[in-house]
Amino acid sequence: MALMITDECINCDVCEPECPNEAISMGEEFYQIDHNKCTECVGHFDEPQCVQLCPVACIPVNPAHQESKETLMGKYLRLTQVA
């Protein structure tokens, strides 16, 4: 289940540096999450760091990209694979 940032984002800059997969970047108006890189911190942390730190709670699960923990772990392994 990749996460998403809603338009309630206040661009506080807290989430981007905490993402271990570099899945968060500034969009046209507010931050966005690349669902191809988001593992909900599976493989890195017990809880998604962006969700834990967000002061306005604007980072829900993206209903368009629901994934199992196993799928997220597979994505983590692909993203962290050494070439």
Q: What is the DSSP letter of 54?
A: -
pTM for the complete prediction? Answer: 0.90
What is the percentage of the chain residues whose pLDDT exceeds 90? Answer: 92
Specify the CATH class of 16-80 in words: alpha beta
Buried b (16+ CB within 10 A) or exposed e, 11-21: eeebbbeebeb
Residue 82 pLDDT grade (very low, low, confident, very high; cuts 50, 70, 90) = low
Interval 29-47 mean pLDDT: 95
The pLDDT score that the predictor gives to residue 6 is 97
The pLDDT score that the predictor gives to residue 45 is 96
Q: State how far the Cα of 70 lies from the Cα of 80, in Å rounded to an integer.
A: 15
Q: State how far the Cα of 22 lies from the Cα of 44, in Å rounded to an integer.
A: 12
| C-alpha closest to that of 4 among 23, 29, 21, 28 | 23
